[in-house]
Structure 1
Amino acid sequence: MVLDALVLAAWVSPIYYFSSLVGGEIARRIRRRKLGRRGRVEKVIFQIPTVGNAETTNRAFRAVKSYGFPVETWVVIEEGDDPSRYEADRVVVVPRGFQCECLYKARALEYARRLRKEMVERGELSPNYVLLQGDDDSIPSREFVEECLSVDADIVIGTITPRPVTVLGTLIDYERSVACGTQCNLFTNISSPVWGHGEAMCISSRVDLSVSYDVSDIGRSGQKLISSEDLFYLHKAVHKGFRRVYNSTAKVYITPPLSLRDAFKQRRRWMWGNLRIVLYGLLPLSSRLRILAAWILGLYTYTVSTLGIFLYHLGIVKFPDYLYPLLWATLVMWLLARGVSIGRAMGWKHGVLGTVASHITVTLNFVLHVAALLKGDPKKFEVIKKA
């Protein structure tokens, strides 16, 4: 009886995902209307932190510059990197001796943030700017930048759109578009975010000048932020009162992992970054519970749903006949939620392919995350190859 209930709960879970997809679009439209129009912005600071990936960084700078907006490009690098390799308006070199409550990428972002704050205080930078935070393997679309300039939000995040560089990487990263459609679009637009991603996060100057990457003023002191800095920052901003956050359906183009090894390193970094936030209390309890619930629901749904197929065919679990139309309907809901999310981000062909390959995608991600969990905390920010 208990086993039947567990399998049934997993098999009807697509009702939640489909409802989140529909509810997310409703919430986005309501939030977009309530936020209103942003006033005139003097400058978009497009910032990318990198550890030597000049080619992909410059490609992103050229793309965003070509949109015709008032963009100033910043690249944030470590000492030892060659500044002349970057086609940036400002090269920010993080001194080796700079210390704060975060490490790696978050440390570089905090140094650049403090630099902007000092520049504003000295009158060298007008506070009438927005910060477009990017990664060295992502390019925000023109539509996303337009929305950042038109929506009066504290923080805007876009919809992840994988570039189909490799078949394996694309299959794996279909899941990112699904997460945007079924979770980010709803929860971010009701000011209760779950995921945040730094591939393109637009931050208002009022947030940039007020909210740091430090842990001690929001979570347990003495802890260092190692990774998941984008998620941490989005949640922290909301807890600090900047609740006008907006999830846009405008595209942010990313490069999926180029190999299975890189996919593992990436997922391991994300998973343990999230777990450190939860286990070490880097954010308030409400944020940690949402993050933990999302992980548990995903792992539970896949494990029990897949196991349930075998248990059903072995006759170990059984359901009344009147439930079978519902179960078939929830299967359709699951496929629709995935297909619509992928199709909206990548086009209808990928929507169809992603729907057909749904179980392959979720299985690959499940295996990668379980392997990452078993491998343990890398305790550092592991980078992957970029193209």
Structure 2
Amino acid sequence: MEESKLEHQEMNIQQFREDLLNWFVEEQRDLPWRKDNQPYKVWVSEIMLQQTRVDTVIPYFERFMEEFPTMEEFAAADEEAVLKIWEGLGYYSRVRNLHSAVKEVVEKYNGIVPDTPKEISKLKGVGPYTAGAILSIAYGKPEPAVDGNVMRVLSRILLIEADIAKPSTRKIFEAAVRTLIDQSNPSYFNQALMELGALICTPTSPACLLCPVREHCQAYANGKEQVLPVKTRKKSVKNISLLSAVLKTADNLYLIRKRPNEGLLANLWEFPTMEVTVNKQYSTQRQALSRYLEQQYDTEIQLETGSFTHVDHVFSHLKWSMDVFAGEIAKTVNLQDGVRLVTEQELEALAFPVPHQKIWKAYKDTQKSGE
């Protein structure tokens, strides 16, 4: 029934397009990836924008393009450089997939991003949304680019009450975009829908009185703009308690370790960390962490009496609650695979996940205040 929504709706599609596009021409934000709509730049920006705010992405995008202005230069980069440029954006599988796909484009397509749905969708990490965004924005192809913004906007305009949290629902919105899209300017049409969702048709308290397509909106006409889109709640977040340590040798080297090459935050560096479990053998966190570190690295550790900072960090499916201690390494460390002693300068050149960046900042602030 949802698929045929447009067929039963009294909607002047041509007027809707004109109202939407005229607004976008006047009101679109000045974003760096909109300067020339080069496929590589569109691609990088769309991957960065997944699950990340535009204001956050802008400086990352500009640094990325300064470091890797061409696909060839990005393809030639090593993983440490790739992870470092992405540090803080999170969801690191995105940049790994991008790196792999760009290598394929350079090797297989002579550095030219494919311009057909079939070919571009074969690239690693390029799903229906990213493919549609690149094809429409960079190549002017009338392909749908359906993300959360677009589903929210169209659920209201077309009064679509299907659950947008269900993957199968995307097909309904893709079909709607194919009917609505402006064949003469699909680039602006798709960007306008996204922009409308970002600036006007927001998740809560949509600014309906400022909306350029309010007259076409079925949710507004029926008083349902606040209840759409329909979206089931996410599963509850799992809480994990961790103990971490910033450990320094007598000659000012810091102990760090690399995370496994698969799973959460794969291949990023971190300070030694253990998960807190119910264990009556140790009376304090400090005692438990000291024992863990000495066993893990076959050394002697002198931890300070209390933790110097607490860090909470929420991922999409879990929350880390971290108590962090500072300490001295009293003797030689067993540097097994993935464990290093590094200078402060070397440490800051490596990629760390956000919670460990917070640890390092807090540690440096503590050191400065103690001088």
TM-score normalised per structure 2: 0.22
TM-score normalised per structure 1: 0.22
- Structure with the greater alpha carbon radius of gyration: 2
- Greater helix percent: which structure? 1
- Structure scoring higher RCO (CA < 8 A, sep ≥ 6) equals 1
